[in-house]
């Protein structure tokens, strides 16, 4: 074998349903189809047949981490993804800037406040309540994370995001243990603190003067408690790196001890251009055994019901990324973390096409990379739990079971 | 999505072996084949590859209930199926009327005593022994159920049905716990009570006068202890109904909290005509998210080794039921609970064809619905545990795992 490296390329929300074609079927993607022709294909259920995967649990599973044992909730993964250092027991939430008027949430995204303005508000939002240190960090646009650090906290509390119309929801303890009660009490005090504080700051007075919705409240969701887990190098001996724009994916990678390649994204959206990712891959392949490469846009188009956008993104990926991956000489594993059918505008439990390519690997008879063609693929129907063992086997890093 | 409903149609004992064709291959079934052509097919192992399923465990598994956690034995399911109300800890058995002569069972079905006559005997057979209340309920022909209600009972006892020649078997405790001993003691007393009681009743004197074998004993089998389990609406949010003739299937449905559609069966056999089931489906689809429809005859023909009967039943189903299901607009999941090959006359562990049809679902290349064609199906080889997650995903009722 000339190559002992592997690239896992996750095209987010890749799978779709036929209307009458799927975006993958409709896209012109000669490079992906050539890899399918020369490689081996199949269908992947990240978390089991029919199960609708979250992005966090699915990525953990594909990277060899069973979410039943290793899932810590979304909040800590997002916090790690925006570069926060977490300590065992920290309870983290995703946070949105929102606009509240007469006690009602009138805009869950504070008029989609731009990154540059929202960042200015970060400095007002860290504080201490009782014995708990609270750290707010802004990420992009209206988004950020909040970390609660102190003794006796629990992630078993409800969101304050009403996920629709209404008031800022009261944080409610979800179990009868005192830690959840304490956490909920502090979260509720923090919600009042944030409204009080944000109502006074000059940045919001300026927004009101300009007739823009002020970012005068925070909405929290996705509580989770950080715990340290054995790293991907400890578990699999993989010297590995993540190339991704989205905070969640960088967070998952950080959580399992991967390096995260610092690629400069668009300062206002965090989005990274494909050509930047391509450069990152070309550099990273020199120093790492295993690259986890992620593209998010396909999923966004699925959520927007934008068939054309999804199809064109696939075509762009095919043109700009696939040849670079092929030239790298690494084993390629190309798939998605779940289906996001444009007709449903949300994640679904439908299988995702998967393609494995390596010069010395077994080819199947499939000639195209799409949901229907891959039904006849030589990999058959695999699950997320199968992916890391397959990768380790490809690059000769699997430990023999028995002797 | 225009439809958010699903129909799981279980054609009992559907799978078969080729001689040289299987009944499914030999049958003219243009409607099933059209659904196969436009839908997605595969092969199903209800309880795992090669495992020979019982009807009870297979149905539980297909409806989302792992028998390892939820199986309570056959007796309670039959009891629920004939409309008995059970209490936690009740021990129930299936019962047969039998003919005993000089202590020997000479006819395990009391000359297949007709339903109308057997029903007259019901009133003699409920009693109390020690502190245990005993309730007998007749179902059809020679069949019924017995429920033992009281403290400290156990289902860990043997059958009194000799399952062949010989005496009424002694009920033996299968473990060393006192509860099994008590239960066995009471069952044995009840066996004597039944023989004593039935020998005196005028109905049996009349049968003897007519030279018919008297129904002068009960044989018990399939002990199980009833326990309350979380309902299908609690677990999956499915507003659901069962349309079935057989007591077992209605019992499984009742056990998991489904409604049971009251269709009038033939009073002497309990059998329900297909046209009655069709009407029931047409009504039920208006009010329920999920219909579990069951046809038993295919399995009976398999047990009888009657290839022609099985083939013709499939043709009748194809003509009378399938078009109605298709018109309903619901997602269709069509399969069997196991194979009952005519050449074996018993359940086997061979896979069963499965077919999923919905207008917006991914089609595969398979054009016929049979054991051999479905080997190339786009679903691949699935297990019973996969069926409910797949159904929930089809109708958009699956909960996302993670976020």
Percent of the residues in chain A that have a pLDDT greater than 90, as a whole number: 92
Shared domain check, B192 and B67: no
Assess if residue A403 is contained within a domain.
no
Assess if residue B317 is contained within a domain.
yes
Please state the domain count of chain A.
Answer: 2
Which chain B residues are closer than 8 Å to A17 by Cβ? Answer: 360-362
Shared domain check, B379 and B244: yes
Helix axes B274-287, B307-320, angle to 10 degrees: 40
Q: Which of A44, A53, A32 is nearest to A383 (CA)?
A: A44
Query: How far is residue A64's CA from residue A66's CA, in Å, rounded to a whole number?
Result: 6
- Cβ distance A87 to A228 under 8 Å? no
Residues in chain B with pLDDT < 70?
A: 1-3
Look up residue B255 and give its two tokens. 């056990």
pLDDT above 80 for A270:
no
Percent of the residues in chain A that have a pLDDT greater than 70, as a whole number: 99
pLDDT tens track for A71-94: 999 999 999 999 999 999 999 999
Residue A207 confidence class, pLDDT cut points 50, 70, 90: very high
Which chain A residues are closer than 8 Å to B389 by Cβ? Answer: 48-51, 349
- Which of these three, B167, B194, B225, is where a domain ends? B225
Query: How far is residue B92's CA from residue B94's CA, in Å, rounded to a whole number?
Result: 7
- Cβ distance A270 to A142 under 8 Å? no
Phi, psi of A36 (to 5 degrees): -60, -45
Q: Do A52 and B362 touch (CB under 8 A)?
A: no
Shared domain check, A385 and A242: yes
Query: Mean pLDDT over residues A25-30, rounded?
Result: 98
- pLDDT confidence of residue A164: 84
- Which of these three, B176, B195, B225, is where a domain ends? B225
Residue B308 burial (CB < 10 Å; 0-12/13-18/19+)? Answer: exposed
Q: Do B362 and A350 touch (CB under 8 A)?
A: yes
Shared domain check, A54 and A129: no
Which chain B residues are closer than 8 Å to A76 by Cβ? Answer: none
Shared domain check, B285 and B235: yes
Query: Which of A54, A222, A372 shows the shortest C-beta gap to B401?
Result: A54
- Cβ distance B135 to B147 under 8 Å? yes
pLDDT above 90 for A175:
no
- Positive or negative, the CA dihedral B31, B35, B37, B40 is negative
Q: Which domain, by its residues, includes A204?
A: 79-225
Query: Which of A18, A47, A343 shows the shortest C-beta gap to B401?
Result: A47
Query: Which of A55, A343, A349 shows the shortest C-beta gap to B389?
Result: A349
Helix (H) or strand (E) holding B74: helix B74-81
Q: Do B378 and A375 touch (CB under 8 A)?
A: yes
Shared domain check, B118 and B152: yes
Assess if residue A1 is contained within a domain.
no
The label of the residue with tokens 């043997």 reads: B158
Shared domain check, B255 and B347: yes
Query: How far is residue B292's CA from residue A8's CA, in Å, rounded to a whole number?
Result: 41
What is the chain A residue with the closest CA to B398?
A52
pLDDT tens track for A233-256: 999 999 999 999 999 999 999 999
Under DSSP, the state recorded for B314 is H
- Can you give the CATH number for the domain in which B371 is found? 3.40.720.10
Query: Mean pLDDT over residues A349-378, rounded?
Result: 97
Query: Mean pLDDT over residues A335-351, rounded?
Result: 98
Helix (H) or strand (E) holding B217: strand B217-225
Query: Which of B361, B379, B401 shows the shortest C-beta gap to A51?
Result: B401
Query: How far is residue B331's CA from residue B165's CA, in Å, rounded to a whole number?
Result: 48
Shared domain check, B246 and B261: yes
Assess if residue B402 is contained within a domain.
no
Q: Do B362 and A380 touch (CB under 8 A)?
A: no
Assess if residue B1 is contained within a domain.
no
Shared domain check, A88 and A38: no
Query: How far is residue B226's CA from residue B387's CA, in Å, rounded to a whole number?
Result: 25
Assess if residue A144 is contained within a domain.
yes
Query: How far is residue B333's CA from residue B361's CA, in Å, rounded to a whole number?
Result: 12
Pairs of CB atoms within 8 A across A/B: 87
CA A304, chain centre distance (Å): 17
Shared domain check, A157 and A54: no
Shared domain check, A149 and A274: no
Three-state SS string over chain A comes to CCCCCEEEEEECCEECCCCCCCHHHHCCCHHHHHHHHHCEEEEEECCCCCCCECHHHHHHHHCCCCHHHHCCCHHHHHHHHCCCCCCCCCEEEEEEEEEEECCEEEECCCCCCCHHHHHHHHHHCCEEECCEEEEEEECCCCEEEEEEECCCCCCCECCCCCCCCCECCCCCECCCCHHHHHHHHHHHHHHHHHHHHHHHCHHHHHHHHCCCCCCCEEEEEEEEECCCCCCHHHHHCCCEEEECCCHHHHHHHHHCCCEECCCCCCCCCCCCCHHHHHHHHHHHHHHCCEEEEEECHHHHHHHHCCHHHHHHHHHHHHHHCHHHHHHCCCEEEEECCCECCCCCCCCECCCEEEEEECCCCCCCCCCCCCCCHHHHCCCEEEEHHHHHHHHHHHCCCCCCCCC
- Which of these three, B225, B241, B270, is where a domain ends? B225
- pLDDT confidence of residue B1: 40
Query: Which of A49, A343, A381 shows the shortest C-beta gap to B360?
Result: A343
pLDDT above 50 for A277:
yes
Q: Which of A265, A327, A325 is nearest to A296 (CA)?
A: A265
Assess if residue B378 is contained within a domain.
yes
Query: How far is residue A110's CA from residue A95's CA, in Å, rounded to a whole number?
Result: 12
Query: How far is residue A386's CA from residue A379's CA, in Å, rounded to a whole number?
Result: 11
Query: How far is residue A319's CA from residue B56's CA, in Å, rounded to a whole number?
Result: 54
Q: What residues have CB less than 8 Å from B371, skipping those under 6 apart?
A: B15, B16, B18, B22, B24, B25, B43, B350, B351, B352, B353
Which chain A residues are closer than 8 Å to B363 by Cβ? Answer: 18, 372
- How many CA atoms does the CB half-sphere of B373 hold within 13 Å? 20
- In 3-state terms, what secondary structure has residue B60? helix
Q: What residues have CB less than 8 Å from B20, skipping those under 6 apart?
A: none
Q: What distance in Å separates residue B64's CA from the closest CA in chain A? A: 12
Assess if residue B320 is contained within a domain.
yes
Residues in A whose CB is inside 8 Å of some CB of B read: 17-19, 22, 43, 47-58, 67, 71, 74, 222, 343-344, 347-350, 371-372, 375-376, 380-381
**What is the rounded average pLDDT for all residues in chain A?**
95
Phi, psi of B198 (to 5 degrees): -70, -25
- pLDDT confidence of residue B269: 73
- pLDDT confidence of residue A1: 41
Shared domain check, A371 and A243: yes
Q: Which ranges of B307-381 would DSSP assign to H, the alpha helix?
A: 307-320, 322-327
């Amino acid at each position: 074998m000339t190559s002992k490296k592997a690239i896992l390329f996750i095209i987010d929300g890749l799978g779709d349903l036929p209307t009458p074609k799927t975006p993958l079927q409709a896209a012109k993607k000669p490079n992906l189809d050539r890899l399918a022709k020369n490689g081996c294909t199949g269908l992947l259920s990240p978390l089991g047949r029919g199960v609708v995967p979250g992005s966090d649990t699915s990525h953990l599973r594909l990277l060899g981490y069973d979410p039943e044992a290793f899932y810590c909730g979304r909040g800590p993964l997002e916090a790690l993804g925006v570069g926060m250092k977490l300590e065992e027991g920290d309870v983290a939430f995703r946070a949105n800037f929102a606009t509240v008027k007469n006690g009602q949430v009138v805009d869950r995204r504070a008029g989609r406040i731009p990154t540059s303005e929202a960042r200015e508000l970060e400095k007002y939002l860290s504080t201490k309540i009782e014995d708990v240190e609270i750290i707010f960090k802004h990420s992009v646009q209206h988004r950020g994370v909040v970390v609660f650090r102190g003794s006796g906290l629990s992630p078993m509390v409800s969101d304050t995001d009403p996920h629709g119309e209404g008031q800022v929801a009261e944080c409610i303890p979800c179990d009868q243990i005192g830690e959840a009660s304490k956490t909920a009490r502090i979260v509720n005090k923090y919600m009042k603190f944030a409204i009080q504080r944000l109502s006074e700051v000059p940045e919001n007075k300026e927004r009101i003067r300009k007739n823009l919705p002020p970012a005068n409240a925070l909405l929290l969701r996705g509580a989770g408690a950080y715990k340290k887990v054995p790293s991907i190098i400890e578990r699999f001996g993989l010297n590995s790196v993540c190339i991704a724009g989205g905070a969640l994916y960088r967070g998952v990678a950080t959580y399992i001890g991967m390096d995260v390649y610092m690629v400069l994204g668009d300062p206002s959206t965090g989005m990274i251009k494909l050509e930047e990712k391509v450069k990152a891959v070309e550099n990273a392949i020199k120093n790492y055994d295993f690259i986890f490469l992620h593209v998010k846009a396909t999923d966004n188009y699925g959520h927007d019901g934008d068939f054309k956008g999804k199809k064109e993104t696939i075509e762009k990926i095919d043109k700009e990324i696939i040849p670079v991956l092929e030239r790298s000489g690494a084993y390629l594993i190309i798939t998605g973390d779940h289906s996001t059918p444009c007709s449903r505008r949300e994640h679904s439990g439908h299988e995702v096409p998967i393609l494995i390519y390596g010069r010395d690997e077994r080819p199947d008879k499939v000639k195209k990379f799409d949901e229907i063609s891959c039904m006849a693929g030589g990999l058959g129907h695999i699950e997320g739990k199968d992916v890391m063992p397959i990768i380790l086997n490809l690059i000769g890093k699997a430990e023999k079971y028995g002797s």
